[in-house]
Every structure is written in structure tokens, then in C-alpha cells.
Chains A and B, each alone.
Chain A
């Protein structure tokens, strides 16, 4: 008598458990809905929609003040116009030139600083926090300082250079050949701490017995750096190069603060040209088309970098 009853009881517990599981699953699904929905709605409106809207506008004729109802579809004409616009075309080359200077310098600076800090020495924590400070600097405010420091006539940098006997010091931000380069240098100063911290974290992951073994085998400091450290942190380098490249094309703030595209249009990079077309000339559709082309260029460069990683990234 007692045994079937026991089974009965077991069954009912199992049933109860199952029911409870089911209600837990239901509760989970409901909770997920409540937790995700607000974020998701906002994300669709403010994160996703602008991209598709930009794509849409780039095919319209919204190139002057007019109401949205009167817009007409113009196909690829905005895109075609870019290829006949020497200012727009050269702005892409200027952006590319900036990236080619900025990304290698930034990566090298971040790596060098990390290797130098990755030792034991006195006041290490203090020195490291000073190294980090440029990263939190307000670039617009600090640009006022850099503009004065690098003023070609009477700025500190050139005053010192002339005292040292340099007869024709560079014009820095005011020189058509040096404006982009000088801006890239300021950008490297402001952004290398990010690369440095990521490299420092990666260097902690390099096993120290590798260095010990190499030292016993008589490897020099330089050999240890190039044969052990560099290959072992190459996945980090890859990540940093890819993200820095994408970020380097978003340079509106720093160029607007330091050169405003000048002298003339010598440093009018693509981001500046996009803002200029949209907000000074009200060429919204044309500006959107230029922005989409910039996006495609960034995608292509990222894809090339992605494909090239087999050659030098060791996982």
C-alpha cells in the first residue's frame, strides 16, 4: 500500500517541479521582454534608424532648404557628383594621409610607453597616472594651448627652435604641408594612453619563463622584444590597429579645433567637408552621400586589414 503511494507522491512532486519550471521559464521570458524592450526601442530609433535614413537621404535631392514632402528621388546623382568634385575627392585623400601617419605613430607610441612602464621602478604609479592624463584632456580646450605653443610667429616651440639656430622653423598648423602632420601628432599625444593600457594588460599575459629561457640562450634585449614580445602581443596590436583606423576617420573635432581645414583647404579632411556641405551649404543629400562613401572606404580598409592578419598575427 505504501509503495504506490510513495510513487504517487514522487509523481506529484515531479509534476509540481515541471509546472514550476514552466512558470519560471515564462517568468524569464516576460522579464527579458521588460528588460530589453526599452533599450531596444531607443536603439532602433537613435542607433539604427539614422544610418538607414542617411542612406535614404543620399539618394534624394535635398540640397537646399525645402520641405521634406517635396523631395525627389535622384538615384545616384549625388554619388556621381562626388567624382567631379575635386574638393571632395581630395578630402578623402587627406583623411587617408592622416590615417597613414596617425595609426602607426599611435600604435608605436602606445607600445613603447607600455614596455617602458612594464618594469619595476620608483614612483611608478604616479608616473603612470601622468602618462594617462592626456587621454582625459578636453581636446577643444587643450587645442587653445597647442595653437599658442605652435604659433609659427612668436609661439614657444618656434622661439626655442630659433634660439637653437633653426633658421626657418616649420609653420606647423599654418603650413599647408605640415597642418595634417601636426594635427596627427597632437592626436597621438591625446590618444596613446588607451593603446598603452591595453598593451600593458597584454604584456602581463606574456609568460616570464619565455624571457628567462631566451636570456639563458643569450638573446639580446632587442631580440627578446622583437622575437618574443611583439609576436605574442600581435593579436592586441591587430585589435588596436583596426579600431584606431576606424576611429582615425572620425576626426572632425580635432581638425575643427586645430586647423579648421586650413590653411586654405590644405587640411580639409573628409569629416570636415561633410559638415561643411551639410551645415554651411545645406547640401544635405550631397553631404550624406559623401558620408556613405566615407563609410564604405572605412569598411574596405577594415576588410583589407582583416584579410592581411594571417601574415603577421599569431594567435
Chain B
């Protein structure tokens, strides 16, 4: 019995080590990126596998990066767009989701079906039409071309509706019977109870909008209004052969969502699991 247990322990330990090695392989591009950003280009590329943890840390790349005004402006622009999109989206989508989950009105299911069916339209199909529309609405080359369309997101409407439907009906019905208005029920009961779902939306929105390339690439043309995901591509062409500087630029863009993700992983996983299984 003891021997069997010991063998089981051993195999669990071996399995754990194997899984850890595979996990490290998965993130090896990140490791390589950060490692190269902390070396000179010569050190990073002459024998890249020799010193994954650099012997002496070379900070010049980050110093150069932080003294480049464009890079900061791009990061700032991206933050502005992400925060405004999330706030406005959070407001619009939760209101509509509350109505779809809890209120009865004419044409409700037809409307929901209609909105859901647009999820099947690929964004490439409408890119020309959107470009021309934004042009006539004078939205081109402004951050609103990214923010406003992001507000009316059907995917999150559906996700939050599912969540709101899971909140016990008795709670809200009792409040309504006691003379509470729907606005109060939405603000005081539903929103506080929906914090986990809202966090799921916030973290997903952050990652998707931060990482979006096609939107800013097509709709924003001035360099000083550009967002960082497109900016990093300019930057890498300016940095040219200075590969480790490019790596430093990439590191910051990659690491910000990863840091956020590390703190809010639970909501991220729940979000994917619920959207996937129910969808």
C-alpha cells in the first residue's frame, strides 16, 4: 500500500513537472521578448539561447522608449479609447440587457433575434461601408470612430442578459410591488448583483479593444492620434535594425493586458466558459 502510494506521488510529481515545462513552452515567445528587450541587439541575437536571463541587465532600450514622445501618446490614446468605450458600453449594454432579461415589451424576441443574427456578419464584410459611413459622419481620424461603434456590442448584450436572467426574480418583483421604479431596481439591485458579470465584460473589453488593430489602422490616419497597437508597427519600422528596442516596445504593449488578466483571471475564465457552453 505504501509503495503504491509512493508510486502515485512520484507519477503526480513527474506529471506536474511535465505540465509546467509545457506551460513554459507556451509562454516562451514572451520570455524571449522580455529577455531580448533587456540586452543590446548584438547580445540578443548573436547567441540568443545562451543567456535567457541576461548577465547584466541593459536598460537603455526602455530609456530610449520612454524618451520617445510618440510612444507615450499612443499608450495614452489607447487608454482613453479603452476606458471611454468600456464606460459607455457598460452603461448602454447593461440597460438594454436588463430590459431583455426582465421587462416585457412588444417585439422583444424579434429584436433579440435580429441583434443576435448580426453576430454572424464578419467585420471584414462591412469595413468599406463603415469607412464611408464614418467619413460622412465626420468621424474619421477621431477616436470616436473606435469608441462609438464599440458601445453597441451584441455579444455583451447577450452575455449580460444571460447573467441577469439568473438573478432570482423574487428579489426584483418584491421591490417593484413595494413601489420601487425599474430605474431604481436596475441601479440598486441588478447592477450591484451583476458585478462579477460586469468585471467579465470589463476585462474582455479591455483586452479586445487594446489589441484591436484593424479599427485604428483603417479609421485613424494622424500619427499623434494613433493607438498603440498600430503605433507599435510604425515604431518597429522606425527602430529598424535595433531589434532589442523593438522588443522593449512590444513588451509593454503585451504585458499590460497580461498583468490585468493575471489579477482578474477568474472572471475571464468564467466569461469564456459561460459564453461558450451556453452559446
Contact = CB atoms under 8 A, between A and B. Distances in A.
B247 A236 contact: no
Contacts of B217: 256
A166 interface: no
A24 B26 contact: no
Contacts of B49: 156, 160
28 contacts: A35-B103, A40-B96, A42-B152, A43-B154, A47-B149, A54-B128, A122-B16, A126-B20, A131-B22, A133-B27, A136-B207, A137-B257, A137-B258, A138-B232, A141-B249, A141-B250, A142-B29, A142-B33, A142-B254, A144-B236, A144-B246, A145-B29, A146-B29, A250-B122, A274-B128, A278-B131, A294-B125, A295-B121
Nearest to A39: B96
A127 B19 contact: yes
Interface secondary structure of B, over-half rule = helix
B48 A46 contact: no
B57 interface: no
Interface stretch (B59-67, B79-87, B194-202, B268-276): B268-276
Contacts of A250: 122-124
B140 interface: no
A274 B124 contact: yes
A287 interface: yes
B152 A39 contact: yes
A140 B233 contact: yes
A265 B49 CA distance: 33
Interface string B91-106: 0110110111001110
Nearest to B100: A36
A283 to B, nearest CB: 9
B125 A292 contact: yes
B69 to A, nearest CB: 19
A273 B144 CA distance: 26
Contacts of B104: 28-29, 32
A35 B261 CA distance: 31
A51 B103 contact: no
B126 A50 contact: yes
B163 to A, nearest CB: 16
Given A42-B151, A119-B15, 4 more contacts: A130-B26, A133-B27, A149-B29, A298-B120
A48 interface: yes
Contacts of A302: 120
B258 A133 contact: yes
A222 interface: no
Interface in B122-156: 122-133, 136, 148-149, 151-152, 154
B149 A46 contact: yes
Contacts of A189: 26, 29
Interface stretch (A7-15, A79-87, A174-182, A194-202): A194-202
A155 to B, nearest CB: 9
A246 B131 contact: no
B162 interface: no
A142 B232 CA distance: 10
Nearest to A137: B254
Nearest to B256: A138
B254 A116 contact: no
A291 B126 contact: yes
B19 A47 contact: no
B99 A144 contact: no
Nearest to A272: B124
Contacts of B98: 35
Contacts of A31: 99, 103, 181-183
Nearest to B211: A138
Interface string A20-63: 00001001110111011011101100111111011001000000
Nearest to B88: A42
Contact of A148 (B22, B176, B243): B243
Contacts of A27: 181-182
